[in-house]
Each structure stands twice: as structure tokens, then as C-alpha cells.
Chains A and B, each alone.
Chain A
Amino acid sequence: MHNIGFLTRKAAELRLAALETALCGKKGHIPPAYSWADVATALFYGGVLRLRPEEPRWEGRDRFILSKGHACLTLYAALADRGFFPPEELSRFAGAGSLLPGHPDTEIPGIEACSGSLGHGLGLGTGMALAGRLDKAPWRVFVVLGDGECNEGSIWEAAMLAGHQKLHNLVAIVDRNRLGATDFTDNYLTLEPLSERFRAFGWEAVDTDGHDISGLIETLTRARDREQGKPFAIIAHTTKGKGVPFMENSPLWHHRMPKGDEITTAREILRARIAELA
């Protein structure tokens, strides 16, 4: 496992790669990719997910689903960096016939499910966890959900089944950035008390700082290594756009693309952060 300095720098590198990828494709959801970038760092670099990049379909791998598929820029950056596919693919993001579309699909090495139509990932993860338990498999299932995505009824259908089935091998991480596409989530559909709702559905649930990489690794590893109990929900409290102040916590920044000086500023901030952590 890497030290926290390396991990913090890695998170900044993922954010910069996500920005450059979006600029290449002239589209993408940058702020939602930034809110879970530290969660992604914990999962992909903190020793949480057991993966073999050279063998993406390795039977013993932990299954990871980014249910909020629009935030795939961070996932693509991590998968490319971990060696699942060549980094040059990032520069062809959303290009004509390229490997990487604006939302993930199952042709991409390291991607388990088509996601981005919200509300599918937890049900898919529940199915994987049911199958894994049936086979007494050692692998675990991790699903990253958006908080706005938790408006979808299908999320709660899945939560109900996973709780009923006591799927200890299923971990859901809610990227609680408090923003949907146009407004703060609780202005249009109240999600709170979110962790209590998961508990009421038969889950173990904790609230945590979604930008504290060390804390995330500890919580995720503890959730992963349980041999029995309930499904585990981590409400990761995050800031949408985290890492680039002018994008942070603003309803304007969902899939808006930076322009002109904004691009320069964002690059400078992220490059300075990386240099500072080198």
C-alpha cells in the first residue's frame, strides 16, 4: 500500500487526467468526477480493490460498478493509469468510434456494467453479490452511487433485497456531494436522513469524510473484510468539483465545460497541487 503523500498526489493526477480527457472529447461531467476522485483513489490505489489489470476478467477480482456513470472521467483515468487499457485512449474520449464513450460500457477493460442511466448499479451489484455468496466466492462487490441517483426507486428496491438477503459481501458508497444536475438535492427531494434510511433497509451504514483518503481506505477495508453481517453503506460526504475552487459546490457546475481562462486556471491549480505533493 502506498503512503498518504503518494495517494494525495495520485488523486490530483486523476483530476488533471479527467480534465484533459474531457477537453479532448469537448464534453464530460468534470465536477461529479471530482467529488468521488478521493474515493476512487482509495479503491484503486489504497489496496481495497483486488484487481489484475493484465487480466481484467480474472475470476477472483473484486467487482466494481460506478453506478453514477456520468462521473466516469475519474474511472477512465484510474483504469488507464492502472494499465487496463493504453492511456492514449483517454485522448480519444467520446471520439468517433473510440473505446471510451461519455458513459461506461462493458467493452471497456475493467468495466463490469453499462452505467449512467441512473438506478441500475445497486441492483446489478446485488445480483453479483447473491451469485458470489451462492458460490462462496471470496471476492466482494463495490458500488459507487450518486446521492441524486438515490432518488431512483430501483435503488431502494435493490437496497431492500440486499438488506433482506444480508449480503455482507456488498459495499455501497454514496457520493454525497449534495448536488444534482441543476440544484442542491435536498431542495427538490429530501434524501436525509440518508444513512438512517439505509439502516432502516437492513444495512450497516456510516457517514464519513469522502475526501479523507486514509479514513476511506480504513472504512472500505473494514467493510470488505467482514465475513458475515449486513450490506455496508458508506455515505461519503464530498464536495462536487473538489480540487478546483471555482467549480466547487455550485449548481452551475455539473456537465458544464471550462472555457478559456477557466481551463488555464484549472490546469494551474491541479499542476501546482501535484508539484507540491511530489
Chain B
Amino acid sequence: MGLDFRDAVFNSVIEVMRADPAAVILTNDMGAMGLDAIRAEMPERAFNVGIAEQNMMSVAGGMALAGKRVFVYGIIAHVTARCFEQVKLDICVPNLPVTIIGVGAGLAYGVDGPTHHGTEDIAILRSLGNMHIYNPADATTAFAAVKLAHGARRPGYVRMDKEVLPALYDAASMDFSAGLGMVAEGTDAVIVSTGVQTWTAKAAAEALAKDGLSVGVIDLFRLKPVDGGRLAALLSGKRAVVTLEEAVSSGGVGTIVAETMADHGLGIRLKRLSLGDGFLLGSASREWAAGHCGLSQGHVEQAIRDLL
């Protein structure tokens, strides 16, 4: 059974807003069915501030300074890079309870051209102090991420995909506050992934198992802060690590894993799979880009084989 990320996120937002009278939501003239439900139920707390993302972030900061807990919703490319300085100075420096919900992780809008690619957001927002970053791989995690981000009473960013996917986790038994999930156990190698690419990693590990290779999969759904000690313990003793992300090569999961290994003295062979350094012009569908940039299931399997 497939679950939609947007439904999960807005179901979570509306629950939070029902419970927290100080919660409000701003959008840059973006629509979503879940947002319509919020507007219908609590119109005084839902603001369309127009197509003006710099101002939207300043307004979010101002409202938070005056006691509100603010959700901001828009397309990733527009609510991260365009208004970066407002996010930094008006939200992160004063450490305010503002949760940015971005839709269009990686190449979710790949066919819409580079204006709509969400491929640098992790790298830039990871540089901001006080910021927490969530990148869910399924609707269950997305639902939880909204609650965690709002409950943290600090700057947060929930990076949302558009795919309709089954649940990766059982919400009842999963501890989302850990920031990562061990999707598959393995003794030879580990794939560390984030977002919907975790499904590719999982499929690759299952295929490799048929050849007798024991490969684990870590879904790093909180990209900041990362519990480095916990991640290092999960990597320790393996012979190979492959990272997988639909983002530029700098600043994301590959960087996080390399940093963690360096910080904890882990000498394990590492291969980082990403979109590389640059831009994808043309209609960059996920499937095309996975083949073109080396992010397909086959590429992941080959990377593990090469390292082992």
C-alpha cells in the first residue's frame, strides 16, 4: 500500500496545529490538499504571503520572535537557496522555532529543469548552526519528522519527496529520535543512504545477498545533527561503505560519512555515489539521472563488489 509524503506531512502538521495554538503556517502561494484542510479548519493561522520567499523567512522569524511556532511550506529550491540569508540571520542565529517544509527532494522535480532541482539544499543548510535537518524515506518517517522538528522548538528543515511508497518502518516500534534506521543488517559492507534512495540501497543489498554478500543498509533520515558515535559503531568492522544520495557530491551523506569515519578513526574503504559536482540540464528524470550519474541499483551493487 502506497503512502503519499505530502499527505503524511500535512496530516502531521494539522495534528500539531490542533494541539498547539501558537502554531501557524506560511506558504509562498503553494497548494496541497493537506494545506487546504488546514486553511479550512484554521484560516486565521494559515497565511499565503505571496511569491516572496525572502520576506516569507523574515516574517517567519518575526512571528517566532513574537511567540509563534511557525511552519513554512514551499518548493525546496525556493525555500532554501533563494532565501538562505534570511534563514541564517532571521531564524537560525536567534535559534527560533521555525520548521521549513520543502517539497521536491533531489530530482523529485527533475524533469522541471535546474530551477526546480533540490540538490544543494542539504549542503547549504547543514552549514547553519542550530538547524536540524530531516530527510525521510517514507511517509511514516515524514509524519514523525514534522512532530520531531516542531517539538524541538528550534530551526528545522523537513525535506519532502513526492513519491508514493510503502512504509519502510513500523511507526509503533520505531524510535525516530535516533535519527537513523538500520533498514537491513549486514556483516560485509554497509550502504548509507538518505531519502527515497534508501529503497534503491535496500534493493541492492537484497540482490547482493543472493550472491552471498552480507550488506547492511542505514537510512540516515536526520542529516543534522548526526549521532556520530552511533553511526561509527554501525560502520565499524565492515570492509566497505557506499554512500548514496540524489544530491551534489559535497555536503551531504557522503560528506557526513567521510567526516564520521575520520573523526572516529575508521579506516574503511568508501565509495560516495551522488550527482557529482555540477548541474543537470535538460529533462533530468530520476531514472535517467540514476543511469547518467551512477545512482542506479546496478551502480550501487557494482560499487560494493568493487570495494569488496
Contacts and interface: CB of A to CB of B under 8 A. Distances in A.
Nearest to B49: A161
B182 to A, nearest CB: 40
B54 A113 contact: no
A113 B59 contact: no
B24 interface: yes
B93 A105 contact: yes
B66 interface: yes
Q: Which of B44, B61, B64 has the most CB of A within 10 A?
A: B61
A112 B61 CA distance: 11
Interface in A116-170: 117, 119-120, 122-132, 134-135, 137, 153-154, 157-158, 160-161, 164
Contacts of B111: none
Contact of B65 (A122, A128, A134, A158): A128
A117 B85 contact: yes
A33 to B, nearest CB: 21
A105 B49 CA distance: 26
Contacts of B61: 113, 123-124, 127
Contact of A157 (B52, B62, B66, B85): B52
A58 B58 CA distance: 22
Nearest to B52: A157
A117 B89 contact: yes
B59 A135 contact: no
Contacts of B68: 131, 134
B66 A123 contact: no
Contact of B94 (A114, A125, A131, A132): A114
Contacts of A125: 62
A122 B59 CA distance: 9
Given A157-B50, A157-B54, A161-B49, A124 B93 contact: no
Interface in B19-61: 24, 44-45, 47, 49-50, 52, 54-55, 57-61
Given A105-B93, A124-B58, A157-B55, A130 B63 contact: yes
A187 interface: no
A130 B54 contact: no
Given A114-B93, A158-B58, A123 B86 contact: yes
A135 B67 contact: yes
A245 to B, nearest CB: 36
A106 interface: yes
B161 interface: no
A164 B58 CA distance: 16
Interface in B85-121: 85-86, 89-90, 93-94
Contacts of B44: 134
A160 B50 CA distance: 9
Interface residues of B, number: 27
B66 A127 contact: yes
Contacts of B55: 123, 126, 154, 157-158, 161
Given A128-B62, A130-B63, A134-B45, A119 B52 contact: no
B275 to A, nearest CB: 31
Contacts of A112: 65
B211 to A, nearest CB: 55
B90 A134 contact: no
B24 A134 contact: yes
Given A127-B66, A134-B44, A114 B90 contact: yes
Contacts of A160: 50, 52
B58 A127 contact: yes
B54 A123 contact: yes
Contacts of B85: 117, 120
A68 interface: no
A120 B93 CA distance: 13
A135 B24 CA distance: 12
A112 B63 CA distance: 12
A123 B94 contact: no
Nearest to B54: A154
Contacts of B93: 105-106, 114
A127 B89 contact: no
Given A117-B85, A126-B58, A131 B66 contact: yes
A240 interface: no
B63 A161 contact: no
Contacts of A134: 24, 44-45, 68
9 contacts: A123-B55, A123-B61, A124-B61, A125-B62, A131-B68, A135-B67, A137-B66, A154-B86, A158-B58
Given A154-B86, A161-B52, 17 more contacts: A105-B93, A112-B65, A113-B90, A114-B90, A114-B93, A123-B58, A124-B58, A126-B59, A127-B59, A128-B63, A129-B62, A131-B68, A154-B54, A154-B55, A158-B55, A161-B50, A161-B55
Interface of A: 63, 105-106, 112-114, 117, 119-120, 122-132, 134-135, 137, 153-154, 157-158, 160-161, 164
Interface of B: 24, 44-45, 47, 49-50, 52, 54-55, 57-68, 85-86, 89-90, 93-94
- 10 shortest A-B CB distances, which residue pairs? A127-B62, A123-B58, A157-B55, A131-B66, A127-B59, A157-B52, A124-B62, A127-B63, A128-B62, A131-B63
